[in-house]
Structure formats: C-alpha cells, structure tokens
C-alpha cells in the first residue's frame, strides 16, 4: 500500500506541457520562440511574466529542449532522446532551475556568475531558469546584471516572475519580455476534460467550467482542483461535488441575491445570506463571489453587445445581460463600492457576517447608506410621505418586504386600463407583466419544478421564473418574451404579484399591458394560479437623470411584430 501511495503523481506534474504544441493559451509566446529558433535569432535572456500556473516554467523547460535536443537546435524537440528525457526528469546537468525565493542572495548570484562561463557538461548549451525572479535581492540583481551585459557563449537565461513591476529596469532592458496571459475558461475546461478522459474520470462540462472559473486562468490550479475532486467524487465528478469542495455559492444563488437587491427586498437578502452561511460558505470567499457577480453585471451593463468583455459562455452572458438591465450603472457602481469596502473590512473585523449583511443592506436600501446619495434618498422619501411633489414625475419605491408603510399611488399607469382611485390613497387597479431577465438567471441544468400553488411565495416565483419564459417562447408569444427584459417579481400576497421595473422602463410596461390575459393564462399554466399583476417603476437614484424613451426594437421583437401585425414569415436562408 505504501508503494502504491508513493507512486502517485499530481496531475499538474503528470500533464505538464512537454512540447510547444502542448502549451495552451500562450500561442503568441510559442509562435515567437518557434520562429526565433527556426531563424537562428534566439536571444540570450528572456523575461517570462504572467500570473501563476500559466506555463512560464514549463515553456522555459521546452526552450531548453529546443536548444539541447539531439536533433536540434530545433523548434520541434523529439522528446525521446537522452537530452529531452533528462530535461523532463529534471536531471540534466546543464539545465539549472533556481528558486529566487530561497536562493536569491548575493552569494547565489555570484556563484551563478562564476559557473556560467564554464563549458556545458552534457548538452549543447546551459540554460538557467530563475523562478520568482522578483525575489532576488538588490545585490543579487547587480551581480546578475554583469552576466546579462556580457553573456558567455552557449548560455541562456530565463527569468520567470509574477510581478514584473518589481524587476529593475536595467534587467528588463537586457531581456526579451514575453507576457503570459490567463487561460480562458473554455480552453481550461477543454483541458480538464481531456485529462479526465485520460484518467478514466467522468467529468461533466458544468463541473469543468466551474473549476476553470475558480482557477482564474491558472492551469496548475485547475488541474490540482481536478485532482482533489477525483478524491472526493471518485470516477464521477459533477458540479455539486466541485461546489462542495471549493465552497462557492451556486450561480443561481448569486442571481437570486442580485434580484433581491434590485427590488430592495431586505428580508430576502438576510434569508439568502443566512442560507449560505448555514451551508458552510466562507464569508470572505462568499463576498468575493458576490462582488465578482456585480462586477460582471456592471461590465455587461456598460457594454451589452461586447461578449469578449467577460470570459463566460454565451448562455451565461445572456443571463447576465438580462439581469444587468434591472440596474442603472450608478446603482451597480455604488453596490460594487460597498462590497469592496466590506471585502477590505473582512480582513480585520470580528463580525464578518454583520459586515457582509451591512454592505448588502446599504446596497439594497439607499436610505441606509451614509453617502450623500443615501441622504438625498431619505429626503426624497420624507417629501413623498409629506405629499410634497417635485416638478418632475416620480415613480414609487418598491418596498418588497418593507411594505408596512402606506403605499402612495405615484406610479405610472396605462390610460386604457387605469381607473381613478375611489378615495385618496387607494391604489389604481391595473395589471402588468413579466420579464425575461429573471428567467435567464435561473436557467440551466437541474432547474427545479415550479412550486405548488399552496407554497408559492415571491422567492419561489423568482427561482422558477425561467419556466414561465420558456413557456412564452414555446407558445410563440414573442412580444411578451421580448419586452419582459427588466422586471423582477417584487412581492406576492397570494392574490397580487407585484413586478418592479427599473426607472425609465415605462415603455416596456405599456407594451405588455395589452397582453395581460395571455400572460395570466401562461402564469396559471406554470404556477397553478393566475394572480393580479401589478407593475411599478422603481425610484431612480437621486441625482441621476433617467429618460423614459422607447429604445430601438431588438431583432427578436422586430420579428415578432412583423409576424403578428402583418402575418409575415421569415424565409429559410434569410439574414
């Protein structure tokens, strides 16, 4: 048994790239090195910069093979000659790897300078690979500089660093610099699935992508995570196993939390945080995940058509874009700022849960924020309760769980459905609709069935919203589907479902009002009930002007209009 354990090799070591074509995500580096070898213009010193686990040291070893292979110098080392095999095993006398973190003193640098001019012992050239080069002392850099200024023949240097800004300019100027990039999620997921297949492990695509995202572009971290997951899940690794291993909240939970913030539902925020804490989530890691989600929303909100801004799948980008439409850029920026402060405070606070909850509550309720924007929001609320009207039309705040105070009918209405209130303070009776935003958030494998009518609440409606949108799409109700892009279920009392739209989205309310009965019928098909549907516009952020105007129709909406109004059909092959 002991012999079997001693023979186990970590996956990141077992599947380390051994040739140029095995290096992933760094095509620009490989192409430059291969071209230099073929043209005989290889530099004497290189600076490999980039995040951990992106292939810097592996590429340096491959470079050593290129210059020492028995069939070389060659851009395609054979990998089977004695030179290549010794470099692979780390036993080559002329390929020296130095860890600057533990051997970065001036004595080590002087020894290197003295040994460099000596002839190679067994290969064609000497190759010195200095890892974490930024850790060298100032005296060591001075000693190394002399060697780089007057390099001995047959000697090459590769300096690898994760912090190039700490490298002296005198050193950088005497090397060829190559910047290694973080490896894309899709590329890493493909690599993990190839390794899993070689190891006889059944790895789902969802699990592979989750590991890739958590590794933040590091192949070594991703392979280590696969190794750990194989120990936990055996030969069958699912997304749930990876989540339990890394302690990350599911994406739909992050979306559920963002929806609660969008409609200012503080009760739901506390419940979600409590659920995550009770499931064993680390609050510091949890805050980072939530912050990352809101950052993604901010990026998508600023550039909805530029999918390259985020390294995510098209399906996830669609969900993010739908949810981002529920916020203004000002709102998202304020929430991200609050979470950044909370993340910093978590380093020293003795009450981490309270720190996270306070940041989310301030993000949910602008009035709880001590910034000038929060103060302006409180003044606005006092004016509203006192009956003081501004010169411009205001929309009410959706109180969500905080619905104890009286509701003032300051909402925008649709003329043909609105009836005058019978008495002051009595809400106007009107009905509205749905949106595809929440739908996209909860989409994906493992989606729960719609809840029973008897146990239906607003949280359950949010989680199952995708089923409603799927039904609308299946029934070709594209006008409803296309226009329900920014509403969020805000509250449900058993008879009335309140849907909140961001400020400036009255045009979406107007368009779906005409199809009220169709929507209620589909809602009944999915959830078993057909409640009254009440649409409201959320308050705008104080100091931010919101223009309520009808934007250009989306392609989906344009096609739906043509079909519905003119009976048009799209021919096969049409653009």
The whole-model pTM stands at: 0.58
Give the other-Cβ count within 10 Å of 274's Cβ.
12
In angstroms, the CA 399 to CA 490 distance is 8
Give the tens place of pLDDT for each residue, 58-89. 999 999 999 999 987 899 998 899 999 999 98
Look at residue 562 in the predicted model and tell me its pLDDT. Answer: 60
Which of helix, strand or coil describes residue 406? coil
The pLDDT tens digits of the residues spanning 559-570 come to 666 665 555 565
Query: For 447-454, what is the mean pLDDT?
Result: 55
Which residues belong to CATH 3.30.300.180 in the chain? 436-560
- Both tokens assigned to 561: 């209009």
pLDDT of residue 428: 38
Of 336 and 567, the one with more pLDDT: 336
Give the whole-angstrom CA distance, residue 285 versus residue 243: 12
Domain topology for 251-364: Zinc Finger, Delta Prime; domain 3 (1.20.272)
pLDDT in tens, 313-334: 777 788 888 888 888 888 888 8
What is the residue-wise DSSP string for 303-352? -TT-GGGS-S-HHHHHHHHHHHTTS-HHHHHHHHHHHHHHHHHTTT-S-H
Secondary structure (DSSP) of 29-55: HHHHHHHHHHHT---SEEEEE-STTSS
Q: Note whether 476 and 559 are within 8 A (CB).
A: no
Contact between residue 52 and residue 8 where contact means Cβ atoms under 8 Å apart: no
Question: Is 237 in contact with 202 (CB distance < 8 Å)?
Answer: yes
411 CB contacts (<8 Å, ≥6 apart)? Answer: 395, 396, 428, 535, 536, 537
Angle ∠(326,436,261) on CA atoms, nearest 5? 30
Closest CA to 61 of 135, 156, 151, 164: 156
Output the pLDDT for position 240: 82
HSE-CB of 118 using CA atoms within 13 angstroms: 11
Is the domain spanning 185-246 CATH 3.30.450.20? The answer is no
Residues 425-439 have a mean pLDDT of 38
For 292, residues 6+ apart whose C-beta sits below 8 A from its C-beta are none
- Residue 450: what pLDDT? 57
Write the pLDDT tens digit of every residue in 256-302: 888 888 888 888 889 888 888 887 777 888 888 888 889 989 888 88
d(Cα 75, Cα 78) in Å, to the nearest integer? 10
Q: Which has more confidence, 548 or 176?
A: 176
- Taking the C-alpha atoms of residue 425 and residue 409, their distance in angstroms, rounded to an integer, is 6
pLDDT of residue 539: 67
Residues of the chain with CATH 3.40.50.300: 9-179
446: tokens are 């493992």
Residue of 92, 88, 149, 91 whose CA lies nearest to 120: 92
Distances, alpha carbon 545 to alpha carbons 347, 449, 539, in Å: 37, 41, 11
Q: Is the pLDDT of residue 304 over 80?
A: no
Query: What confidence score (pLDDT) does residue 191 get?
Result: 93
How many helical (H) and strand (E) elements, i.e. helices and strands, does the chain have? 26, 10
Q: For residue 487, what are its two tokens? A: 């509403």
Alpha helices in 371-464 (DSSP H): 372-385, 436-441, 458-463
3-state helix, strand, coil in the chain (%, to 5): 50, 10, 40
CATH code for the part of the protein at 9-179? 3.40.50.300
Residues sharing a CB contact under 8 Å with residue 390, sequence separation 6 or more, in sequence order:
383
Per-residue burial over 347-369, b = 16 or more CB atoms within 10 Å of its CB, e = otherwise: eeeeebeebbbbbbbbbbbbbeb
Evaluate if residue 138 carries a pLDDT over 50.
yes
- Give the mean pLDDT of the chain: 76
Q: How far apart are CA 575 and CA 570, in angstroms?
A: 9
Q: Where in the chain is the domain with CATH 1.10.8.60?
A: 185-246
Numbered ranges of CATH 1.20.272.10 in the chain: 251-364
How many angstroms separate the first and last alpha carbons of the chain?
A: 64
DSSP 22: G
For the CA atoms of 50, 53, 57, 61, the dihedral, rounded to the nearest 10 degrees, stands at: -130
CATH number of 436-560: 3.30.300.180
Helix 219-233 / helix 205-215 crossing angle, nearest 10 deg: 130
């Amino acid at each position: 048994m002991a012999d079997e354990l001693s023979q186990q090799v970590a996956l990141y070591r077992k599947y380390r790239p051994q040739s140029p074509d095995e290096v992933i995500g760094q095509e620009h580096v490989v192409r430059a090195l291969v071209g230099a070898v073929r043209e005989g213009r290889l530099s004497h010193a290189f600076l490999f910069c980039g995040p951990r686990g992106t292939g810097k040291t592996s590429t340096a070893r491959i470079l050593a093979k290129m210059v020492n292979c028995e069939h070389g110098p060659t851009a395609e080392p054979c990998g089977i000659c004695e030179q290549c095999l010794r470099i692979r095993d780390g036993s080559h006398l002329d390929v020296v790897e130095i860890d600057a973190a533990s051997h970065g003193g001036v004595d080590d640098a002087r020894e290197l300078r003295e040994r460099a001019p000596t002839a190679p012992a067994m290969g064609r050239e000497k190759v010195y690979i200095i890892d974490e080069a930024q850790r060298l002392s100032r005296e060591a850099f001075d000693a190394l500089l002399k060697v780089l200024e007057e390099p001995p023949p047959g000697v090459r240097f590769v300096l690898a660093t994760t912090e190039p800004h700490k490298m002296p300019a005198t050193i950088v100027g005497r090397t060829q610099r190559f910047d290694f990039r973080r490896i894309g999620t899709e590329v890493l997921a493909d690599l993990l699935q190839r390794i899993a297949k070689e190891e006889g492990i059944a790895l789902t695509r969802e699990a592979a992508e989750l590991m890739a995202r958590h590794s933040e572009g590091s192949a070594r971290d991703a392979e280590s995570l696969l190794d750990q997951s194989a120990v936990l899940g055996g030969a069958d690794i699912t997304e749930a196993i990876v989540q339990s291993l890394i302690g990350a909240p599911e994406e739909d939970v992050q979306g559920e939390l963002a929806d609660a913030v969008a409609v200012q539902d503080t009760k739901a925020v506390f419940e979600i945080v409590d659920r995550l804490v009770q499931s064993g989530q680390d609050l510091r890691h949890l805050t980072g995940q939530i912050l990352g989600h809101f950052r993604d929303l901010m990026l998508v909100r600023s550039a909805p058509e530029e999918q390259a801004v985020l390294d995510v799948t098209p399906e996830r980008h669609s969900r993010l874009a739908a949810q981002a439409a529920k916020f203004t850029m000002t709102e998202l920026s304020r929430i991200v700022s609050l979470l950044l402060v909370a993340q910093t405070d978590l380093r020293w606070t003795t009450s981490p849960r309270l720190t996270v909850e306070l940041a989310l509550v301030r993000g949910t309720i602008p009035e709880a924020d001590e910034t000038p924007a929060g103060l302006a929001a409180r003044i606005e609320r006092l004016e509203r309760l006192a009956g003081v009207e501004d010169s411009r039309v205001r929309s009410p705040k959706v109180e969500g769980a905080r619905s104890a105070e009286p509701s003032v009918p300051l909402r925008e209405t649709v003329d043909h459905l609105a009836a005058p209130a019978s008495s002051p303070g009595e809400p106007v009776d009107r009905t509205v609709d749905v949106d595809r935003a929440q739908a996209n958030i909860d989409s994906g494998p493992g989606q729960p069935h719609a809840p029973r009518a008897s146990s239906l609440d607003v949280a359950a409606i949010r989680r199952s919203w995708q089923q409603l949108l799927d039904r609308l799409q299946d029934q070709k109700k594209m006008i409803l589907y296309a226009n329900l892009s920014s509403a969020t279920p805000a509250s449900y009392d058993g008879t009335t479902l309140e849907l909140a739209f961001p400020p400036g989205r009255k045009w979406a309310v107007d368009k779906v009002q005409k199809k009220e009965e169709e929507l209620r019928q589909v809602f009944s098909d999915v959830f078993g009930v057909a409640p009254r549907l009440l649409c409201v516009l959320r308050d705008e952020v104080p100091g931010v002007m919101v223009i309520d105007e009808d934007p250009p129709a989306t392609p989906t909406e344009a096609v739906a209009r043509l079909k519905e109004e003119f009976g048009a059909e799209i021919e096969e092959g049409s653009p």
